[in-house]
Structure 1
Amino acid sequence: MKKILVTLLLMLLPGLAAAQSYDDVVEAQILPGWRLPNGDHMAALHLKLAPGWKTYWRSPGDAGIPPQFDWSGARNMSAIGVYWPAPHVFWQENMRSVGYKGDVILPLRIRPSQPGKDARLGGVIDIGICKDVCLPHRLRVSASLPAGQTKPDARIAAAMADVPFGAEDAGVTGVSCRITPQAKGMGLTVSIAMPRGTGREETVIETSDPNLWVADPSTSWQGGRLVAQTRVTHMSGGVFALDRSGLRITILGGDMPVELTGCSG
């Protein structure tokens, strides 16, 4: 249901923008970055948010709007991937959202169709912005990516350093999942064997199926393991299968951000 509401909001976005402009709340530009030895190109989307405003991560929580990227204005480009630095967890009126504030740099790894030539990155980005009110906002960006630029951009490199660590670096030795039947869905309990952290950990659980909705988990330490309990439902309200190998579990608020893929039964 939440995803349907988000889609409707994005469809209404041009009308909302006409009613009131929020261009002074967020600025967007492409950092042109540098060409890598293998022919790929590192660039970044740079957002500058006004004080008190925030925007959302790829999985924004029940109270957020997920970003959507349309790179149809790109030239000499066969693939593009977004790297997500560790976000913050925000609480407002007992609702959780996950995102960023202040200066936000999202590194982009681009594969040119013709590696030895300049590329161009351009497109439309729909994001959610939030302060006292939350609403969708549309941004247009464009920049040339010179093939001859090989000096790394320290800002992009710093953002890459904030991307969550993997299981080995975080000392994770096992991730198990338990599924229980529930009305119109299923309960999911994820148990993670790892060194005890701050006690303030929050988890975000994503599935490989965009039609599945995962409620914000309840996270706690139980017997030396970090345990996240949540509920999974299908947007149609019907029955579904859950691919454990496609689960992505992100741990925030601990000693280091951690991202894990898949779990055992």
Structure 2
Amino acid sequence: MNTKFITSCALAASLFLASHAPALAKSGVLVIDDVVSVRILNGWRTDRGTHMAAIEVRLADGWKTYWRAPGDGGIPPRFNWSGSTNLANVDLHWPRPDAFHLNGMLSIGYHDAVIIPIELSPATKGQPISVSGEIDMGVCDDICVPVTVHVTAELPADQTTTDPAILGALKLAPANAKAGGVTSATCAVSPISDGMRVTATIDMPALDGEEIAVFELAGQQVWIDEAKTTRAGRHLTATTDVVPSASGPFLLNRSDLRITVLGKTRAVDIRGCPAG
């Protein structure tokens, strides 16, 4: 599990931050010693009445940050939008991440820069949204640094001009199961000493490069091991162990499972995995 890794990251972060200058914030961009800068791209009000904005993250050479499911070697990002006004809901549209190895562990995330579209639902339609958010994120090079950044933006209701950068990021999202050519996906579940073992059998065309399957389980505090994958023709088999915080077998709802299959240039997002 990740306890030792997270502890070492926290220690490295304290040493790193103690020896560097304080954060500098100006023009709505928070910069921490030129390692990472984060800002909101204001975007536009959609025909549905939501507001399509984005989080833009820029990283110094060699630094990386993490996807929503960061792998064994990553720090999961966390978002708090409670300081915002006229905001009812936030949906993140994650672009396809890259897989890389850091400290001998698989990590999943982004390097150089990433634009993460965020779709904001106003509490009162037709009115501006004032965004005030706190983002906890990890950035890593030779060491890992947990960072908290604050972002703000005023999003008017009459802004309807689309942003090409956000549109481009939306196109990078993993394809859904149908668009990805998935004809079936089933999961077999069996108990292990400290949790459950899940084996997914997916009928789908092969992606380019190494195929990495990432399992997520909504609504539960669990640790999920790096999946082992094999392929025979159209059939991709992926097996992982799911361990809850209490350790031991537990009731697993297959409809809550989410499996993302990552290739070199494409990815497929599969929601739910019924029994085979």
Q: Relative to 1, partners in 2 of residues 1:18 and 1:255: Cα closer, same or farther, differing over 3 Å?
A: closer
CA distance in 2, matches of 1:93, 1:13: 16
Match of residue 37 from structure 1:
47
Distance 1:69 1:14, change over 3 A: farther
Match of 2:170, SS state, is helix
In structure 2, distance between residues paired with 1:3 and 1:209:
21
The answer as to whether partners of 1:48 and 1:103 remain within 8 angstroms in 2 is: yes
Q: Does 1:98 align with 2:108?
A: yes
Residues 1:210 and 2:220 aligned together: yes
Q: Distance in 2 between matches of 1:123 and 1:255?
A: 31
Q: Which residue of 2 aligns with 1:135?
A: 145
> CA–CA distance in 1 between the matches of 2:150 and 2:262?
30
Query: Following the alignment from structure 2 to structure 1, what is the Cα–Cα distance between the partners of residues 48 and 181?
Result: 31
Shift of residue 79 of structure 1?
1.0
Partner Cα distance (2:58, 2:220) in 1? 29
Alignment counterpart, residue 28 of structure 1, candidates 14, 38, 59: 38
Paired residues of 2:9 and 2:144 also in contact (CA < 8 A): no
Q: 1:229 to 1:23 in 2, by over 3 A?
A: same
Query: Contact (CA 8 Å) 2:36, 2:57: kept in 1 or not?
Result: yes
More moved, 90-99 vs 49-58:
90-99
Matches of 2:84 and 2:215 in 1, distance apart?
31
Q: Secondary structure at the match of 1:169?
A: coil
Question: Residue 220 in 1 paired to residue 191 in 2?
Answer: no
Shift of 1:99: 0.3
TM-score, with length taken from structure 1: 0.92
Q: Distance in 1 between matches of 2:250 and 2:19?
A: 41
Q: Does 1:85 align with 2:88?
A: no
Between the aligned partners of 1:23 and 1:173, the Cα distance in structure 2 is 48
- Aligned residue number for residue 183 of structure 1: 193
**CA deviation after TM superposition for structure 1 residue 200, in Å:** 1.1
Alignment: residue pair count = 265
Counterpart CA distance in 2 for 1:187 and 1:84 is: 27
Task: Give the structure-2-normalised TM-score.
Answer: 0.88
Alpha-carbon distance between aligned partners in 2 of 1:205 and 1:151, rounded to the nearest angstrom: 37
String of CA shifts for 1:116-162, please: whole Å, max 9, x gaps.
Answer: 22111111111000001112011111111011110000111110001
Instruction: Write the distance in 2 (CA, Å) between the matches of 1:61 and 1:235.
Output: 17
Alignment partner, residue 122 of structure 1: 132
Q: Is the 1:83–1:108 contact (alpha carbons within 8 Å) kept by the matching residues of 2?
A: yes
1:94 Cα offset (Å): 3.0
Aligned to 2:211: 201
What's the offset of the Cα at 1:186? 2.0
Q: CA deviation at 1:4?
A: 9.7
Q: Which residue of 2 aligns with 1:60?
A: 70
Q: Which one-letter code corresponds to 1:227 in the other structure?
A: T
1:264 matched to 2:274? The reply is yes
Q: Contact 1:55/1:99 (CA < 8 Å) preserved in 2?
A: yes
SS at match of 1:241: coil
Going from structure 1 to structure 2, the CA distance change for 1:248 and 1:71 (only over 3 Å counts) comes to same
Contact 1:199 1:221 in 2 (8 A): no
* Equivalent residue letter for 1:2: N
Residue 179 of structure 2 aligns to a residue whose secondary structure is helix
List alignment gaps of at least 5 residues for structure 1: none
Q: Percent sequence identity over matched residues?
A: 41
Deviation larger for 181-190 or 133-142? 181-190
User: What is the Cα deviation at residue 93 of structure 1?
Assistant: 4.1
Hey, what's the Cα distance between the residues in 1 that align with 2:9 and 2:131? 26
Task: Report deviation, 1:45.
Answer: 0.5
The answer to whether the 8 Å contact 1:199/1:220 transfers is no
Offset of residue 229 of structure 1: 1.1
CA contact (8 A) 1:206 1:247 kept: yes
Whether the 8 Å contact between 2:60 and 2:112 is mirrored in structure 1 is yes
Unaligned ranges ≥5, structure 2:
22-31
12-21 vs 51-60, which deviates more?
12-21
SS at match of 2:178: helix
